[in-house]
Amino acid sequence: MAELAGIYAASHGPLLVRKWDSVTPAHQAALTAAFAELGRRISAARLDALVIISPDHWVNFFIDNLPMICIGVGETHGGPNEPWMIKEFPHQTLPGHPQLARHILDTALESGFEPSVSQRMILDHGFCIPLLKAGIAPLPIVPVVFNDIEPPFPSVKRCYAWGEMLARAIASMPGDLRVGVLASGGLSHSVGEATMGLVEEAFDRECLAHFEAGHPAALCDFLTRRLPQVGNGASEIRNWVAAHGAAGGRGFELINYSAVPEVIVGCGFAAWNVNPVAARA
């Protein structure tokens, strides 16, 4: 059976690419080191496939057709179509893993989820910035889109349950695959709001403390209460919650956190120790 070989999270603020030259040297150094450590860990895990959970930034979907969750099941996926990403990202297409994707889909349906399906998804900056900045060589990707953009959102508890289901799907996938999960997005930031540019560092640190404590119910309660009170971009933390669910709510390790007003994002990077998951299985 397949093995859940690594679980990770990273921010993906567009200005990490678009306005990189405007980032202070100290923040550049911290962010570069964090992405490098993320890339080192993913490379060391020797993954055969990577499930990436990210929102869609109005590239594949819009308000006239906005699924709560969508799985990309195609043989290939399109690279980012944002002009500023096309200049930096070296791949026009990325390989998919349809067998794993369809197994995740089947497990989701059996578990009471009803995700949408895309045969060929365009992977925008949310998927591709972590790959680019962490220097991750192309490997088969199963993209999972969460609606973190426009309410109504999937509930925080539902996102945690999705992560639990994802771990079951990977564990029951036939073959010797080594599979990783990467949650892309967050932490606090605002886009197109009066508070755009404000990083809610106190919220971010309290949120990270909940992940480190490893108590799923307390984390979900905290985020259910607090997410509507901070910038709209903080909704992407739902992707981290799914990763936490895949890890069984344990083993969270913060790699780096930097409040970076130059990129209007509280930038977080993390990994989960998957050994507790394996020990409990």
H or E element, residue 82: none
Cite the active site residues. Answer: 125, 189
Q: Where are the alpha helices (DSSP H) in the chain?
A: 15-18, 25-44, 83-86, 98-110, 125-133, 156-171, 201-213, 216-226, 237-246, 275-280
- The span from the CA of 240 to the CA of 232, in Å, is 15
Q: What is the largest CA-CA distance in the chain?
A: 50
Q: Which two three-digit tokens encode residue 256?
A: 């780096």
d(CA 87, CA 84): 5
In whole angstroms, what is the distance from residue 51 CA to residue 77 CA? Answer: 13
Question: How many beta carbons lie within 10 A of that of residue 281, not counting itself?
Answer: 12
* Under 8 Å between Cβ of 80 and 91: no
Query: Coil, strand, or helix at residue 211?
Result: helix
For residue 278, give the nearest of 159, 170, 176 by alpha carbon. Answer: 170
